[in-house]
């Protein structure tokens, strides 16, 4: 293996590590439609526990794939939306969704 391909493989492996986690792809899919509150995400993906949803949202925020916005209305609301980085990943995942519809 050449020295040039090792950094590329490390990045690809890291990307698969992120998207390979359960629920990540569905969360990104839902957020491709636009910003959502925690309760909306939980309603749309009901099999996803609140604890796991919270954990995945923190991970995706830490990776720079989504942003968390606190809206100071009464009551205070928090919305989650994809960053540009997250939008681009979502666009790439759309190809997987197309494949799934066709072949699964």
Which of these, 87, 77, 26, lies nearest to 53 by C-alpha position? Answer: 26
pLDDT on residue 8: 86
pLDDT on residue 5: 84
Q: Is residue 31 helix, strand or coil?
A: helix
- Cα angle value 80/75/26 (rounded, 5°): 25
The whole-angstrom separation of Cα 15 and Cα 19 is 6
pLDDT on residue 43: 97
- Neighbour order of strands in the sheet with 36-37: 36-37, 77-82, 66-71
Residues of the chain with pLDDT under 50: none
Q: What is the pTM of this model?
A: 0.88
The answer to whether 36 and 80 have CB atoms below 8 angstroms apart is: yes
Query: 69 has which bridge partners?
Result: 79
Classified by CATH at the fold level, domain 5-103 comes out as Arc Repressor Mutant, subunit A (1.10.10)
pLDDT on residue 42: 97
Domain locations in the chain as residue ranges: 5-103
pLDDT on residue 7: 85
DSSP structure class, residue 28: H
pLDDT on residue 1: 54
Supply 34's token pair.
């636009």
């Amino acid at each position: 293996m050449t020295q040039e391909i090792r950094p590329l493989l490390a990045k690809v492996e890291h990307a698969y590590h992120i998207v390979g986690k359960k629920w990540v792809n569905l969360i990104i899919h839902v957020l491709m439609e636009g910003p959502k509150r925690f309760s909306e995400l939980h309603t749309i993906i009901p099999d996803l526990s609140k604890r796991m949803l919270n954990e995945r949202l923190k991970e995706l925020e830490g990776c720079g794939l989504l942003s968390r916005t606190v809206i100071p209305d009464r009551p205070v609301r928090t919305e989650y939306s994809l960053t540009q980085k997250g939008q681009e990943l979502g666009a790439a995942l759309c190809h997987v969704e197309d494949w799934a519809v066709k072949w699964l």
